[in-house]
Amino acid sequence: MYGVGGGGGGFNAPSTTAGRRRNPGDEEEDEEEEGGEGRVLEAWERAYADERSWELLQEDESGLLRPIDTKTLFHAQYRRRLLLRSAAAAAARIQKGLIRYLYIVIDLSRAASEMDYRPSRMAVVAKHEIGGSPESQIKALMGKLECSGDSSLQNALELVHGYLDQVPSYGHKEILVLYSALNTFDPGDIMETITKCKKSKIRCSVIGLAAEIFICKHLCEETGGSYTVALDESHFKELLLEHAPPPPAIAEYAAANLIKMGFPQRGAEDLISICSCHKKIKSGAEGYICPRCKVNVCELPTECRTCGLTLVSSPHLARSYHHLFPVAPFDEVTPVPNRIQRGGQICFSCQQSLFNPDGQSNLHVRCPKCNQHFCLDCDIYIHESLHNCPGCESERSITS
């Protein structure tokens, strides 16, 4: 059994280095962390001592609290995330693993019912999705949430390893563990399991909700994954979204071969056959017909049991295209007081006015390619969900 190890709260945010204590050699880091007491502050302490979060609250005329303007905060967070991502992508043309077989392991042990994340850790975990998964899956998961017992990292890894063994070689195998507990009860030697995962080229990443745990860190280092610990709910969401884009493919594992795939069509309605997955009688219209061996399969994507061909439909592949053709980050347009900017009156996509009621122009953004202006909310929506710039799509380029 491995208990809590390491310093408290090691995580990915670039601006902090918790764990370095009074090291005289690191002068530049100490300067930004030095608190009033003259010792290095932990990240959680900094929120109270340096940033003074209570001072953000304001009262209006009648003494009631005014809501904090979180809009610019969201936008700043989103821009930081976007610029980091695009800088990394522009620096090197890294081959990405687009076909990913990702297993998400959610810790449902007793530790998950801890209340430090509102309403409880497991509710927070279940609410966020990595993108692309339909709402119905989330609803089904929320309906089944109950936690009990202790968590075992080794059992989880063994289980997923068994599933991922059957995955074809071009697929990237990944595990994402959302870990709430501070320890793990394992029936055997977890180091063996870790070596097994490493040999099968499974990339394990962990997002911790409590503190940094040595065994998780070791697992991630060995398999090439990333280990992050969430500070609070919004930070957790950021960390989760970082796993959404495809990770860089490890060179010797991913050969750029051609992959054979089948695109089955629905059968004719009057075709009665036995489906290969459930061994039940089904009409042709309810299933799909494998183009190579003509057996009936019920759902896509799947692998044909008879001939081994991967069967997908084109929307399944199309969901990943936005990773290949991302939208360029928009430039911020600094508001110039008392001057009407050309084209900067309303947001091009949602037609909302870009000016405050008192005539001052709000902060907004502009696409560098089509020069249309957009409001901040549309900017976030375009880059995180839509993946098309409405301005670029609404004009016919000369070369096309």
Partner 1 sequence: MTSAHSKLYSDDVSLVVVVVDTNPFFWAAAAAALPFADFFAHLIHFVNSILLLNHLNRVVVIAAGVSSCAYILDSSDVSPSGGVGISDTFDRASRKAEEFIAQDARATAGNGSVASANAASLLSGALSLALCYIQRIFRSGTRHPQPRILCLQGSPDGPEQYVAVMNSIFSAQRSMVPIDSCIVGTQDSAFLQQASYITGGVYFKPQELNGVSAIRRLSTWDMFVQFVCQYSARIRRSVQPAGQNSVVSCLI
Can the peptide bond before residue 335 be classed as cis, meaning omega within 30 degrees of 0? no
Select 19 or 368, whichever has its Cβ closest to partner 1: 368
Query: What is the DSSP code string of 169-210?
Result: TTSEEEEEEEE--S-B--SS-HHHHHHHHHHTTEEEEEEESS
Q: Calculate the alpha carbon distances from 357 to 23, 42, 352, 353 in Å.
A: 52, 42, 12, 9
Select 163 or 263, whichever has its Cβ closest to partner 1: 263
CB of 319 to partner 1, least distance (A): 6
Select 225 or 264, whichever has its Cβ closest to partner 1: 264
CB of 391 to partner 1, least distance (A): 8
C-beta atoms surrounding 321 within 10 Å: 11
Select 97 or 264, whichever has its Cβ closest to partner 1: 264
Report whether 262 contacts 317 (CB < 8 A): no
Where on the chain is the footprint of partner 1 (CB under 8 A)?
Answer: 74, 127, 132, 134-135, 138, 263-266, 269, 285-286, 313-315, 318-319, 321-322, 325, 347-352, 377-378, 380-382, 385-390, 393-396, 398-400
Select 23 or 137, whichever has its Cβ closest to partner 1: 137
CB of 271 to partner 1, least distance (A): 12
Give strand ranges (E) for the chain.
58-59, 65-66, 100-106, 172-179, 202-208, 227-229, 261-262, 265-266, 272-274, 281-283, 288-289, 296-297, 302-303, 310-311, 331-333, 364-366, 373-374
CB of 322 to partner 1, least distance (A): 6
Select 208 or 391, whichever has its Cβ closest to partner 1: 391
Can the peptide bond before residue 315 be classed as cis, meaning omega within 30 degrees of 0? no
Select 67 or 134, whichever has its Cβ closest to partner 1: 134
User: Which 3 state secondary structure label does DSSP give 354?
Assistant: coil
Rounded Cα–Cα distance for residues 197 and 260 (Å): 26
Give the strands of the sheet with 373-374, arranged side by side.
331-333, 364-366, 373-374
